[in-house]
Amino acid sequence: MTIETVGVVGAGNMGSGIACAFALAGFDVTLTDVDAKALVPAVASVAAKIDEMIASGNVDLADKKGALARLSTTTNLSDLGTSDLIVEAAAEIEAVKHRIFADLTPHLKAETILTSNTSSFSVTRMAGVTNRPEQFMGLHFMNPAPSMPLVELIRGIATSKETFDTVDAVIKRLGKTAVVVEDYPGFTVHRILIPMINEAVYALYEGVGSVLDIDNSMRFGANHPMGPLELADFIGLDTCLSIMTSLRNGLADSKYRPCPLLVKYVEAGWLGRKSGKGFYDYRGQSPVPSR
């Protein structure tokens, strides 16, 4: 099957970034969200992402015009039914994802391939709420999706070879690097990355070091471009907590216990950059540690 039309569910940071990547690569993209007010800033976010790429010399103005012309929006999930490929990029809440796929299923054409951008949940379990588990797989983009080169390809237990090969070809057309991952909690990237972040939160919780000292230790001691607490804020502390919880529940190992301080920050609504405050406070001219 040749993929030409793509539906993206969820107009948040990841959804708009994925829509941007597909539109730049020449696909016709329809972006949907339950909140109509989210769609206008999502399109503006796509334009801003492309402007950043223009400034860095990766694309030109004609690419921007073409990408924006290929991007449309809707609040009706059923409008995605005629898409060749659908990428779900809603909040990392498993019940929400299951409901989206259950609602989509009656509107799909027979050939449509379904994928989820989940970073931790079972692809096989999500496929089970659809009428096409053989045409379902995980397609996990990194953030920011337009510029990060890696995509995890996750087969569910029923994913067909035809579906996998079709999606693999799409990733090549996007100019991304694909890694093949088995359907286990956290897959590869987040199974390694999020426990590291959780351990950094424990270091802060136990008074091993300050926010800045912990981040600087990994930036200058391990050559990481971003410290783990700064990265947690960038990802979203609620997302980090969700992934740690999924790892703990799915693997039944106490080493994946979320740090109580991470839980407390999420309970306080300190979710990182998107809420204005996490391990850093972003409400001033420059970020400063929250504690």
Residues 87, 177: one domain?
Answer: yes
User: Is residue 290 one of the residues assigned to a domain?
Assistant: no
Total structural domains within the chain: 2
Predicted local distance difference test score (pLDDT) of residue 108:
97
Residues 150, 201: one domain?
Answer: no
Predicted local distance difference test score (pLDDT) of residue 200:
98
Residues 162, 225: one domain?
Answer: no
Scanning the structure block, which residue is given the tokens 């948040």?
12
Residues 212, 153: one domain?
Answer: no
Residues 24, 120: one domain?
Answer: yes
Residues 75, 155: one domain?
Answer: yes
Tokens representing residue 21 in the block? 């990547």
The torsion defined by the Cα of 199, 181, 151 and 271, in degrees rounded to 10, comes to -30
Predicted local distance difference test score (pLDDT) of residue 84:
98
CATH number for position 224: 1.10.1040.10
- Choose one of 181, 205, 237: the last residue of a domain: 181
Which residues of the chain fall below pLDDT 50? Answer: none
Tokens representing residue 98 in the block? 């299951």
For 260, the domain range is 190-283
Predicted local distance difference test score (pLDDT) of residue 284:
93
Predicted local distance difference test score (pLDDT) of residue 1:
80
Spatial separation of the C-alpha atoms in residues 146 and 45, rounded to whole Å: 11
CATH number for position 130: 3.40.50.720
Spatial separation of the C-alpha atoms in residues 209 and 206, rounded to whole Å: 8
Predicted local distance difference test score (pLDDT) of residue 291:
84
Residues 91, 213: one domain?
Answer: no
Measured from the Cβ of residue 165, the count of other Cβ atoms closer than 10 Å reads 11
Predicted local distance difference test score (pLDDT) of residue 60:
94
Residues 174, 204: one domain?
Answer: no
User: Is residue 85 one of the residues assigned to a domain?
Assistant: yes
User: Is residue 241 one of the residues assigned to a domain?
Assistant: yes
Q: For the chain, what is the largest distance between any 2 Cα atoms, rounded to a whole number of angstroms?
A: 56
HSE (side-chain half, CA atoms, 13 Å) at 152: 24
- Choose one of 143, 160, 181: the last residue of a domain: 181
Residues 149, 245: one domain?
Answer: no
Residues 171, 55: one domain?
Answer: yes
Scanning the structure block, which residue is given the tokens 């399109």?
43
- Choose one of 159, 181, 203: the last residue of a domain: 181
User: Is residue 77 one of the residues assigned to a domain?
Assistant: yes
User: Is residue 15 one of the residues assigned to a domain?
Assistant: yes
Residues 174, 198: one domain?
Answer: no
User: Is residue 291 one of the residues assigned to a domain?
Assistant: no
Residues 203, 248: one domain?
Answer: yes
| Whole-number Cα distances in Å, 253 to 81, 203, 226, 250 | 40, 20, 28, 8
